[in-house]
Structure 1
Amino acid sequence: MGLKRTDEFREDAVRIALTSGLTQKQVADDLGVGVSTLNKWITAYRDTDVVPKEDLGLAQENGRLRRENRILKEERDILKKATVFFASQKP
C-alpha cells in the first residue's frame, strides 16, 4: 500500500516542479514519487494559487534562459573544437 501524501506535500511538490528549474523527473526522484503522480498533481494544482502567477512567470523565463544558455555553451564548445581542429591542420 502506497504512502498517503498530504495536501501540503503535494502543493510543495508542485511548487518545486514549476519553479525550481529542475526537470519533472528530477523533482519526482528527489521526492520519491513517480513522474506520472507528479504530473497529476501539477494538473490538479495548476490553476490554483499554489504558485503565484508572477513567480510562475519568472520560473518560466528562468527555464527559457537556462535552455538558451545551455545551447550557447554547446555552440561555444563546438567552435572551440573546430578551432583546435583547423589550427592543427597543415596548409
Structure 2
Amino acid sequence: MTKRKKYSKEFKLDAIALVVEQNYSQAEAARNLGVNPNMLGRWIKESENEDGHAFRGNGKLTPEQEEIRNLKAQVKRLEMEREILKKATVFFAKETK
C-alpha cells in the first residue's frame, strides 16, 4: 500500500499559476511538476470555487463552516437547558400538590 503524497498550499498555488497566469496546458504543467493532470485540474477548480479559502489544510474551516459549528453547539446547549427546565417544572408541580 502506497502512502498518499501531500502537497503544500504554496506548491498547489504555484502549479495553478503555471496554468492560469503563464498559459501552460494542464497536461504540460502536470508533467513538469510530476503530478497527475486530473489532480491539477481539481486544484484549479477548487481555487476558483473557494474564493480565497482553497487549500486550508486539515481542520481549518471556512467562516461559514465555523459559524455552522458554533450554531450547532448553541442549539445543543439550548436544548439541554430546555430539558432541565421541563424537569424542574414537573418537580415543582409535584411539590406544590
- Structure 1-normalised TM-score? 0.49
Greater helix content: 1
